[in-house]
Amino acid sequence: MVDGAVPRFWREIPQRYNLVGNICQSCKKIYFPPREYCPVCRRKSMGKMKDITLSGKGKIITYSIIHTGTSQFEPLVPYPMAIVELDEGPRITTQIVDCEIDQVKIGKKVEIVFRKIQQDGHIGAIYYGYKFKLVDGDK
């Protein structure tokens, strides 16, 4: 028996692989992850939420460098974790990869990459998803 939440992960593949959020047709606010209905328009937005694919570009709002990770992430320490504000508005929490730790700064532009996020041991499934890298690379 595997320990993971395979159906839940599968359900979220559009979000984890392709940043599919949704937009309220009423007020045009964009949400990621997608919501059942818009918290602003509430019942007016029911049935009016439409899928939208976000560009994967954003900027760093704040960050930390994790030295004590949870069990799935210990091999990667120390690693940067950041709150990124996507160009379309929503904010997400994500790892920053492919740079030196001291290059991570508030305000820097980032873009999406595809990485392995977790795996359910050596027998269970592998969960892929988004991480982000600095747009200007190592400069």
Partner 1 sequence: MRDVAVIGIGITKFGELWDKSFRNLIAEAGAKAIIDSGISGKELNAIYVGSMSAGRFIGQENIGTLVSDASGFSHLHIPTVRVESADASGGLAFRQGYLSVASGMNDIVVVGGVEKMTDVIGIEATDTLATGLDQEWEAFFGSTLAAEYAMIATKHMHDYNTTREQLAQVAVKNHANGALNPNAQYRRAMPIESILRSPMEAYPLSMMDSAPVSDGAAAVILCPADKAKKYTKKPVKIIGSGQASDTLALHGRKKICTFESTVKAAEMAYRQSGKKPSDINVAEVHDCYTISEILAIEDLGFIKKGEGGSAIDKKITTLDGKLPVNTSGGLKSKGHPLGATGIAQVVEIVTQLRGDADQRQVKNAKIGLTQNVGGVGASCVVHIMEGM
Partner 2 sequence: MDKVGIISYGAHIPRFRIKTEEIAKAWGKDPITISKGLGINEKSVPSPDQDVATISVEAARAALKRININPQEIGAIYVGSESHPYAVKPTGTIVGEAIRATPLLMVADYEFACKAATAGIQTCMSLVKADMIKYGMAIGSDTSQAAPGDALEYAASAGGAAFIIGNQNIIASINDTCSYTTDTPDFWRREGKKYPAHGGRFTGTPAYFKHITNNAKNLMEKLDTKPQDYKYAIFHQPNGKFPVRVAKMLGFSIEQIQQGLLCPNIGNTYSGATMLGLASVLDVAKPGDRIFLTSYGSGAGSDAFDITVTQNIKKLKKNNAPLVSELIENKKYVDYSTYAKYRDLLYYD
Q: Pick the closer one to partner 1 by CB: 46 or 61.
A: 61
User: Could you tell me if 95 and 70 are in contact, meaning their C-beta atoms sit under 8 angstroms apart?
Assistant: no
Q: Is 64 in the site for partner 1 (CB under 8 A)?
A: yes
Q: What CA–CA distance (Å, rounded) separates 78 from 73?
A: 9
Contact pick of 3, 70, 75, 121 for partner 1 (by CB under 8 A): 70
**Site for partner 2, residues 62 to 81, rule: CB under 8 A:** 75-76
Q: Is 115 in the site for partner 2 (CB under 8 A)?
A: yes
Q: Which residues, in sequence order, are CB contacts of 133 under 8 Å at separation 6+?
A: 96, 97, 98, 99, 110, 111, 113
The tokens of 30 are what?
């964009």
Contact pick of 13, 61, 106, 123 for partner 2 (by CB under 8 A): 13
Q: Which residues, in sequence order, are CB contacts of 126 under 8 Å at separation 6+?
A: 116, 118, 119, 120
Positions in the binding site for partner 2 (CB under 8 A): 13, 17-18, 75-76, 97-98, 100, 113-117, 126, 128, 131, 137-138
Positions in the binding site for partner 1 (CB under 8 A): 8, 12, 33, 61-74, 76, 78-79, 81-83, 91-95, 106, 117-118, 127, 129-131
